Amino acid sequence: MKVSVNGKIHEIDVEPEMPLLWVLRDELGITGVKYGCGIAQCGACTVHVDGTAIRSCQLQVGDLDGDVTTIEGLGTPQSLHTVQSAWVEHQVAQCGYCQSGQIMQAASLLDQDNDPSDEKIDEVMSGNLCRCGTYPRIRAAIKTAAKNLREA
């Protein structure tokens, strides 16, 4: 089967029941997406499918219908995505394990609402867990990214 990831078509030979997470990591070597819990409760495996945040541990590759974007495809080292820039500005990451999922969820939120309230941020981001407790910095970075998007 063929999958489109970060703008590139990949031909893979896997069972259609294989979770997208394992296709990305094990078959394609895209390791920015992380395994956290395997039951879509932590958000570490969040990627975009046609711009919508999804948990890749729960999506079977055979059910995939759309283009996948991972943290590697969101921005580049030379041109960070607005959310990535805000993450750096606010020094959000501590251990960093959850950050790709956090960033992907935040980018999806801002694609839908470029001026989210604190309550909306908390609601949308509540499925992404951070063991280090950087939630105040996450919210501040999202607010900064939203402001930058509105001004652009």
Amino acid (1-letter code) at residue 130: C
- Cα gap 27→57, rounded to integer Å: 14
Q: Quick one: which of 109, 31, 96, 98 has its CA closest to 70? A: 31
Residue 38, sorted as left (phi over 0), alpha (psi -120 to 50) or beta, turns out to be left
- Cα gap 86→27, rounded to integer Å: 31
Q: How many CA atoms lie within 13 A of 23 on its CB side?
A: 28
Beta-carbon neighbour count of residue 37 at 10 Å? 13
pLDDT band, residue 77 (cuts 50/70/90)? confident
Measured between its terminal Cα atoms, the distance across the chain in Å is 39
Residue 11 contacts by C-beta under 8 Å, 6 or more apart in sequence? 1, 2
Q: Quick one: which of 49, 53, 61, 60 has its CA closest to 83? A: 53
Chain segment 15-68, per-residue pLDDT in tens = 999 999 999 999 999 999 999 999 999 999 999 999 999 999 999 999 999 999
Mean pLDDT for all residues in the chain: 97
According to the model, what pLDDT value does residue 76 have?
86
